Amino acid sequence: MSMLEIVAVVVSVLAIWLTAKRRMLCWPLNLVACALYFKLFLDVRLYADMALQAVFGIGILYGWISWTRGSRDTGSVVVMPLARSQALAGLAAGAVGALAIGWFTSTYTDAALPWIDATLSSFSLVAQYWTARRHRENWLLWIAVDIAYVGMFVVKGLMLTAGLYAVIIGLAVVGYRGWRRAHP
């Protein structure tokens, strides 16, 4: 457990809690968390997750803009429905991305866990996109992905980060419930 990991965990918990509460401040804090985890994942050779943090940075900027445009005059963020066809397309894109990233990282890098890292990274991108688009189902995908992340981080000895992801699962449950109430 390093100081970098400790700071990354604290910033991440705050950012995700603010996301669950649909607060705009979540976006700049998520950017900071991405930068911290980019460095941490580089240090432990989880390259797909390192690259994911860079892509998340772009997604966070997109989400910030989308939420700004999708907020009411009161400042609350409007939750949007996710059509079944959009859900299926997102999950298919996640599967294709997992195969492509997994093949690349297993073939061209010394990645520690190339296939699980790639799969979790790819489906995290789908969940991030759904978050940016304000679909409540993002939380269900985050729950599934984060359960697997807990195991991966335990294997890599990132116990504090594994604990963070266990907490994130709880925050995702809170987020889903809150967002479901906002758009039944």
Q: What are phi and psi of 71, to 5 degrees?
A: -105, 150
What number of residues does the chain have? Answer: 184
| Upper half-sphere CA count for residue 68 (Cβ side, 13 Å) | 9
Task: Look up the domain containing 157 and give its range.
Answer: 3-71+84-182
- Asked whether residue 78 is domain-assigned, the answer is no
User: How confident is the model over 81-100, as pLDDT tens digits?
Assistant: 899 999 999 999 999 999 99
- Asked whether residue 166 is domain-assigned, the answer is yes
pLDDT of residue 182: 81
Instruction: Return the higher-pLDDT residue of 46 and 110.
Output: 110
Across the chain, mean pLDDT equals 91
Q: Which two tokens stand for residue 19?
A: 């996301």
User: How confident is the model over 10-27, as pLDDT tens digits?
Assistant: 999 999 999 888 888 999
Q: Is the confidence at residue 77, as pLDDT, over 80? A: no
- Asked whether residue 150 is domain-assigned, the answer is yes
Q: Are 46 and 111 in contact (CB under 8 A)?
A: yes
pLDDT of residue 105: 92
Q: Are 71 and 78 in contact (CB under 8 A)?
A: yes
pLDDT of residue 73: 59
Q: Which two tokens stand for residue 125?
A: 């991108």
Average pLDDT over residues 31-56: 90
Counted domains in the chain: 1
- Asked whether residue 77 is domain-assigned, the answer is no
Burial grade of 182 (CB within 10 A; 0-12, 13-18, 19 or more): middle
Q: What are phi and psi of 101, to 5 degrees?
A: -70, -40
- Asked whether residue 79 is domain-assigned, the answer is no
Q: Is the confidence at residue 76, as pLDDT, over 80? A: no
Instruction: Provide the residue type at 61 as one letter.
Output: L
Q: Is the confidence at residue 139, as pLDDT, over 80? A: yes
Q: Are 6 and 163 in contact (CB under 8 A)?
A: no
Average pLDDT over residues 76-82: 83
CA 172 to mean position of chain CA atoms: 11
